[in-house]
Amino acid sequence: MKNVSKALTRTQALVIVAALVIVAVVGVGVFTVFLPSTPSTAKISEVRVGLVEPLSGAYAVFGNEAKMAAELIVEEINSKGGIASLGGAKIRLFVEDSKSTADGARLAAEKLVNVDGVNVLIGAFISAHTLTMLDVTEPKKVVVMADALVDYLTARGFKYIVRLPPKASVHGATSVDFAVAVFQQAGAKIQRPVIVHFDGLFGEVTADGIYTRLRDLGIRPVDRIKYPTDITDMSPIIERIRQANPDIVFVVPYYADSVLFAKAVKSLGLKVQFIAGAGGTGLSDPDSIKAAGDATELMTNTYSYDPFLPTEYNKQLVQRFQSKYGKLPTEAAGIIFYTLWTLKEALELSGKMFPDKPLDGDNLMKALFELDLRSGPAAETYPSGRIKLGPSGDNIYAQAVVLQVQGGKPVLVYPFEKAQTKPLFPRP
């Protein structure tokens, strides 16, 4: 009996010990389940934003304007308290020169990502250059906010890229819609269009947008002329246009070639009812007008930004930009304006949605896709007044506008409901 009693006692003791262990484990489990998550105590003092732009070389006129705009907006955001949801963290801007080459853009991205440790990268204005940056940023999950327009950038399955300005094909289609409406207002129809463009990707895609919209409207171009980006003599191009006898020329230039084209049109006396540019660079921006003189008079071009947008914030911003830099902001600056303000809104939202890792690439992308901006600085500097990303990462409310040179100055002429004045047609 004593042995049995001892056995029972040992068994009871083991049962009690096992029960205590189970209770302890369950208790820890219950405590873990119901304990609220604790946000990271690490203080975020700054958000590192990289900017890659062509600050030297063929496209420097646009890259330097973008840099001016970025410095202006970053200064304003920081002066107004930085990113509130991140404890007032300031944006620190890191600028690198792509030197107007694809290799330069890639090397700049490598430095910004691997040395400077940027959280977001903006750039690189030229689409082919932006593509080389994605080879660097995608593996590191660094978000790229592109200011380049070629459609394929957001159509190739990259996970960490978004773009707010209208795509190149949208610019092409907008130039056609505008020109068709101008002809209609004059009681005429486009019958003999010619498309002229440089041979780079941007030129090809924008020209494709022009061709596609003309085709959809039942209008057949009489010629499509392609020239090398580094062209130095436009006279053969002008002569071929003359031989086609068009009633309108749709042209897709960059900066240097836009000035060369305009001067050649004037000096060689090309007579055509209308010249409509597409693509957001050259012809009717202040720098082109200054470089080409009155050769750009009455030429038009599409832009991703409307410097004459009559919102209170945009009017103040344009005035500040002009006071500081002595020029009207157009394409390159405008894209940076609304891109940086959209980033600011995304950072605020990410700080609230993901307090532990607000700067993580996946989290920041989720925040960007959650935004639907209809007010505030980003919306007030965007042509359509609304920013909401679609599945591809492009703004589903993207809109391009048209500026025309009148009296040596650019004026907004399209969309008609927002225009400062009527477009002048035909060319004398």
Which residue stretches of 55-126 are H helix?
60-79, 102-114
In this prediction, residue 428 has a pLDDT band, given cuts at 50, 70 and 90, of confident
Whether residue 240 is found in the same domain as residue 389? no
pTM here?
0.89
Structural domain for 196, as ranges: 169-303+402-418
Give the number of C-alpha atoms closer than 13 A to the C-alpha of residue 218, restricted to the C-beta side.
1
Residue with tokens 């304007």: 65
Please classify residue 184 by burial: count the beta carbons closer than 10 Å to its beta carbon, then call 0-12 exposed, 13-18 middle and 19+ buried.
exposed
Amino acid at 100: S
pLDDT band for 281, please (50, 70, 90 cuts): confident
DSSP3 helix / strand / coil % (the chain, rounded to 5)? 50, 15, 35
In a domain, 73, yes or no: yes
Q: Cis before residue 108, ω within 30 degrees of 0?
A: no
pLDDT tens by residue, 287-311: 999 999 999 999 999 999 999 999 9
Residues 6+ apart with CB under 8 A from 94: 48, 49, 50, 51, 112, 116, 118
How many Cα neighbours within 13 Å face the side chain of 233? 3
Q: Report whether pLDDT(11) > 50.
A: no
pLDDT digits (tens, 9 = 90+) for 370-409: 999 999 999 999 999 999 999 999 999 999 999 999 999 9
Task: Write down the H helix ranges in 229-330.
Answer: 235-244, 255-267, 286-292, 312-325
Spatial separation of the C-alpha atoms in residues 113 and 194, rounded to whole Å? 44
Q: How far is CA 320 from the centre of its chain?
A: 22
Q: Are residue 139 and residue 174 in the same domain, yes or no? A: no
| 323 lies in some domain | yes
pLDDT value, residue 421 = 97
Instruction: Quote the Cα angle for 258-129-67, to 5°.
Output: 70
Q: Is residue 11 included in any domain, yes or no?
A: no
Residue 280: pLDDT band by 50, 70, 90 thresholds?
low
Q: What is the CATH number of the domain that holds 212?
A: 3.40.50.2300
Examine the pLDDT at 33 and tell me if it is beyond 70.
no
Q: Per the structure, how many domains does the chain have?
A: 2
* Chain centroid offset of residue 292 CA: 27
- Are residues 52 and 123 both part of a single domain? yes
Same domain, 279 and 225: yes
